[in-house]
Amino acid sequence: RLHTLRAVIRFAVQAVGLLLILLVILGAPSQMPTIIGLAGAGLTVALKDFIVAFFGWFVLMGKDGIRVGDWVEINGVAGEVIEINLLRTVLLETGNWTSTGHPTGRKVAFVNSYAIEGHFFNFTTNGQWLWDSIHLLIPPDRDPYALLEDIQKTVGKETESSVRQAELEWKRITSRYRVRAASAEPAVNLRPTPSGIEVEVRYICRAQERYALHARLNHSLVELLRRQELAREQPATAAG
């Protein structure tokens, strides 16, 4: 930011210096106010996008703006901020937050006017917390409630640390604005389908840890289902 500020000051000084030199050499014309007014109006129209982008940079540098390294979503494109200059914001695209979140290798540049004329989402402001989900299908011949308790325990154990940290950060943020803090505890929803009972498990995680936690939970739940199936087969084997 200091480098950018120096560039702005240097450009402003050079522009003012050039104008003063022209006035000294050519002198001030009799219709100077009119000329300046028309020139200013023309430049404003021609450089409207650049002017809005320039002021957008000040918005982005403010308290609720973004910084290099933040995980953000701008105009539907999600990624990590790798550069912010006077006119542009550059992201390293990582796909949307419902995918794996792995970098695509593409750099995406946006004119800073989105900070004024549009909107953006910053997943870093409050600790980079977001909700993720896992879907399971319980066959019709299985008792869903017996399995549901084990699923809740497994997910609760894996996300215990994240839940505690997220609730502490949210409580600190919400107390400032006098609103009630939300719970970060995992939630389980059941939905009957022709193929069985669909289980949706929603849990909190950090944006940067999303893929690793998702993979870890998948592995733990597959292992849980395997143990449940082995436990069901043992009585049948003993009876045989």
Mean pLDDT by 10 residues, the chain (240 residues): 65 73 64 65 70 87 85 86 90 66 77 88 72 87 82 90 86 72 84 89 84 89 84 61
CA–CA dist 194, 238 (Å, integer): 32
CA–CA dist 10, 41 (Å, integer): 24
Token representation of residue 71: 């995980």
What pLDDT was estimated at residue 71? 83
Q: Closest Cα to residue 78, out of 101, 100, 60, 62? A: 101
What pLDDT was estimated at residue 42? 67
Residue 71 backbone class (left: φ over 0; alpha: ψ -120 to 50; beta: rest): beta
φ, ψ dihedrals at 84, nearest 5°: -135, 115
Residue type, 50: F
**Contact predicate 213/100, CB 8 Å:** no
Token representation of residue 197: 């009972």
CA–CA dist 112, 101 (Å, integer): 24
What pLDDT was estimated at residue 90? 93
What pLDDT was estimated at residue 110? 92
What pLDDT was estimated at residue 236? 54
Neighbours of 151 (CB within 10 A): 22
What pLDDT was estimated at residue 44? 66
What pLDDT was estimated at residue 202? 92
DSSP H helices, 91-209, are: 114-117, 144-177
Residue type, 71: W
Q: Report pTM.
A: 0.60
CA–CA dist 5, 84 (Å, integer): 12
CA–CA dist 111, 47 (Å, integer): 13
What pLDDT was estimated at residue 94? 78
Token representation of residue 148: 């549901």
